[in-house]
Structure 1
Amino acid sequence: MSLRSIAASAALILTISSVAGMAAERYNLGRPVTGDDIAAWNIDVSGDGAGLPAGRGSVAEGRALFAEACSACHGDKGQGSAADVLVGGRGTLATAKPIKTIGSFWPYAPTIFDYVNRAMPFNAPQSLTPDQVYSVTAYLLFLNGIVPEDTTLDAASLAKVEMPNRNGFTRDPRPDVAPK
């Protein structure tokens, strides 16, 4: 790239930045981010359960909600349809055709809550209440034979669920990513 091209690119960037700044002032676009804005996006849940919200949900409640909001894509029992299979696959990870499901692959139950809370249902992500997400999570864990049918989950109990593949991952040996 020539010096003239670099100078022209820099001038263009400055012009665009200036125009964008003037437009924001003139049209009152944008605003400072508030703590409430950040809190609304700070919904991550870690494998140990940190970040799980208050709430509770049962397998029975999850069964009804799954039939209503999830089965069209995942099948009536999580067997898959238009979207991924959610049930089964145990013992297949070391085979030529592994089936990665909640029961065969996921190492931590709280991360199921995290995913459902962020991304489901597909047509309306983040529309479920914490109680509904706990319920769907309980039902999915039940379908995979991980919790009994009379289970009710909350933040404390979900964090204690032992997933079948909990020890199926290896730790990252790099010292810059070691757990603290």
Structure 2
Amino acid sequence: MFTPDLVRLAAVLAAVVAPFGAWAQTVSDTRLGVGTPASEADLSAYFSIPPSGRGLPPGRGTAQDGAVVFQQSCAACHGEKLQGNMSPGIGADRLIGGRGSLASNNPVKTTESYWPYATTLFDYVKRAMPFNAPGSLTDDQVYSVVAYILSEGGVIKPDEVMNATSLPQVRMPNREGFYPDPRPELSLYR
């Protein structure tokens, strides 16, 4: 026997699902009859920047400009001197130092010790930082913050400009400290 609650639930489900059926019929794909092909722009939201730098946006940044952006957007969590902040509810990792520590009993994971490619640092900052407003930094600000972090860690010179050409050329200190992933499905990703 149908109860009033069950009838209401069925009505709500029908109202929610019906528009999706009509929408799927209006969109076509040669294989399945639904959906639209994903564009490069659509995919870029889901794939990271590879070590080659393919997909890096136009823009540029310097450590000097990055110091300003870092103090405004990053220092509250990562510390004014990139030393990290382990305050409960606020804390974020240390960003510099730790070279040669990964194989020790006290590994320190930082951009210098753990990140094999500078492009990965750009991608992470671009997508996930600052913590309270991820993705809010402009491309120039991201290049600048990355230049600042790399400069403070002694990876690049303080006057080097980071952009889509120079960033993939940065040689990270622990680049050779990783093993390649032999899984064949990696060829499916860019």
TM-score scaled by length of structure 1: 0.79
Choose the corresponding residue for 1:102, options 111, 136, 153: 111
Name the aligned partner's letter for residue 79 of structure 2. G
Map of 2:173 onto structure 1: 164
Query: Equivalent residue of 1:57, what SS?
Result: strand
Query: Equivalent residue of 1:38, what SS?
Result: helix
| Structure 2: distance between partners of 1:110 and 1:177 | 18
Alignment map for 1:82-97 (pairs within 5 Å): 82-97=91-106
Map of 1:21 onto structure 2: 17
1:13-66: CA deviations, max 9, x gaps? Answer: x9997553225589xxxx977859726725631122111000000000000110
CA RMSD of aligned residues (A): 3.0
**Identity in percent:** 46
By how many angstroms is 1:172 displaced?
A: 2.5
TM-score scaled by length of structure 2: 0.75
Change (3 A) 1:23 1:176: closer
Query: Equivalent residue of 1:153, what SS?
Result: strand
| Structure 2: distance between partners of 1:94 and 1:54 | 37
| Structure 1: distance between partners of 2:105 and 2:170 | 29
| Structure 2: distance between partners of 1:20 and 1:70 | 42
Name the aligned partner's letter for residue 119 of structure 1. A
| Structure 2: distance between partners of 1:42 and 1:171 | 22
The 8 Å contact of residues 172 and 178 in structure 1, kept in 2 or not, is answered as no
Alignment map for 1:36-75 (pairs within 5 Å): 38=42, 41=45, 44-75=48-79
Q: Structure 1 unaligned runs (5+)?
A: 1-13
User: Does residue 1:155 correspond to 2:134, yes or no?
Assistant: no
| Structure 1: distance between partners of 2:167 and 2:154 | 15
1:62-90: CA deviations, max 9, x gaps? Answer: 00110111000000111000111111001
By how many angstroms is 1:163 displaced?
A: 0.3
Aligned residue pairs total 163
| Structure 2: distance between partners of 1:92 and 1:37 | 39
